[in-house]
Amino acid sequence: MTAGQSGMARCINLAALQVLIQLLAGDGYAVIGPIRRDDAIVYDRIAGITDLPAGWTDDQGPGHYALVRRGDDALFGYAVGPDAWKRFLHPPVETLWRAQREGDTFTLAAPRAPAPRYAFLGVRACDLRAIAIQDRVFCQGAYTDRSYADRRRNAFIVAVHCGGVGGNCFCASMGCGPRVDAGFDLALTELVDPAPHRFLIEVGSEAGAAMLARLDSEEATSSDLDLAESVFKRAASQMGRHINTRGLKELLQTQPHHPRWDEVAARCMACGNCTMACPTCFCTTIEDHGSIDESSAERVRTWDSCFTLDFSFIHGGSVRQSASSRYRQWLTHKLAHWIDQFGVAGCVGCGRCITWCPVGIDLTEEVAALRMATDPGSTVSHEHP
């Protein structure tokens, strides 16, 4: 465990978690956490622990998501929903600049609103890794996305270790979880049974240590630490999916004409659900909007998907006209070319692309099928062994 200011692992109760939310709000943060809405667990603004999805979990499979009751009142007893935190750090729609006509000239200005201060409550290990990947894309290259950097710089992150995983999770295969290891200010391990309901709390930054000092906490007992360790081990053993990453980059980059691309394209609707739900996909398009009287105009950036025909459109038409070429581009970029560009894979094993695909296309199954061509002794089984 990472110690707090006292040098000891600490525990907080439900009342202290409520105080944490209130303190963050009082410090000017918009506190974003999980809520139950429209039969899903999504992220939105919260005022306290009564907004959290107590006693609910999610049942996930390829093309399947449903909320079911748990046998306890765990606040974070679910895997991941359709939302990813990128919706707040990298908004789906963002105005880049506005122009206003003034006689024979015009003025050009970028939006001046200050970047919001977000406090994220309930960030899982896979999503922490996804945020780190987007940090690399937007902040660590030759060009910095200033609006993303401002939002990211102001963020306070309260992570939660996974106590259970979903049917489509494979973060362990990608080395991204289920245990939180970096990128947080505070991290919680929820301990429900035996009572009382409490949270082991870890510090990951100076800001996190300062916040913990403002909370009523007590030294964690050896039984608390043992119970937390059992939570980590249970989650790691319950992965719903598995992917063999050995030589994966080379495998994908040397199989551009594998018949599996056409087989998956026969099912793929090219709807882009997977890229919208993915916590790391960052592709955008630019739209220019003008007023009817030609007095003003604005440039807007919106999320886009490599599954659309327009995404690769150049003079003469789309570069990737077939669904098979677009799926191949997405999967190969995600698990291979991304490594060439950014040094890491673009997949964190959250399984959202599997859950929210209308026809249940399973990334791990497709990789296993492609591997069969070069390693006939391998299996297409994508379930965790």
- Co-location of 31 and 175 in the same domain: yes
Residue 350 lies in a domain: yes
Q: Can you give the pLDDT at residue 381?
A: 45
Do 72 and 142 lie in a common domain? yes
- Of these ranges, 18-27, 110-119, 174-183, 228-237, the one predicted with the greatest mean pLDDT is 18-27
Task: Give the model's pLDDT for residue 232.
Answer: 87
User: What number is the average pLDDT over the span 297-313?
Assistant: 91
Say which residues have a Cβ less than 8 Å from residue 267's Cβ, sequence separation at least 6: 359, 361
- Examine the domain organization and report whether 261 and 231 are in the same domain: no
Residue 229 and residue 142 share a domain: yes
Same-domain status, 41 and 109? yes
Query: Do 56 and 171 lie in a common domain?
Result: yes
Question: Do residues 129 and 212 share a domain?
Answer: yes
CA 187, chain centre distance (Å)? 16
**pLDDT one-digit tens code per residue, 65-115:** 999 999 999 999 999 999 999 999 999 999 999 999 988 888 888 877 788
Same domain for 107 and 255, yes or no, is no
Question: Domain boundary at 186, 208, 237, which?
Answer: 237
Is the model more confident about 176 or about 111?
Answer: 176
CA dihedral 214, 216, 220, 225 (to 10 degrees): -70
Residues composing the chain: 385
- Indicate the number of domains in the chain: 2
Q: Determine the average pLDDT of the residues in 207-234.
A: 93
What mean pLDDT is predicted for residues 264-285? 94
Q: Is residue 1 part of a domain?
A: no
Rounded to whole angstroms, the Cα distance separating 159 from 229 reads 16
pTM, two decimals, is 0.91
Domain-located, residue 335? yes
Judge whether 379 lies within some domain.
Answer: no
Radius of gyration of the chain (CA): 22
Mean pLDDT of 229-245: 89
Q: Are residues 204 and 252 in the same domain?
A: no
Give the domain range for residue 322: 248-374
Residue 62 belongs to a domain: yes
Mean pLDDT of 312-338: 89
Residue 221 shares a structural domain with residue 273: no
Residue 83 lies in a domain: yes
pLDDT band at 1 (very low <50, low <70, confident <90, very high): very low
Task: Estimate the crossing angle of helix 363-374 against helix 323-332, to 10 degrees.
Answer: 90
Amino acid present at 247: G
Where does a domain end: 237, 265, 287? 237
Identify whether residues 59 and 137 lie together within a single domain. yes
Domain boundary among 215, 237, 259: 237
Please report whether residue 159 resides in a domain: yes
The pLDDT confidence band at residue 338, using thresholds 50, 70 and 90, is very high
Report pLDDT for 375: 67
Same domain for 19 and 141, yes or no, is yes
pLDDT for the residue 385: 36
Residue 2 inside a domain? The answer is no
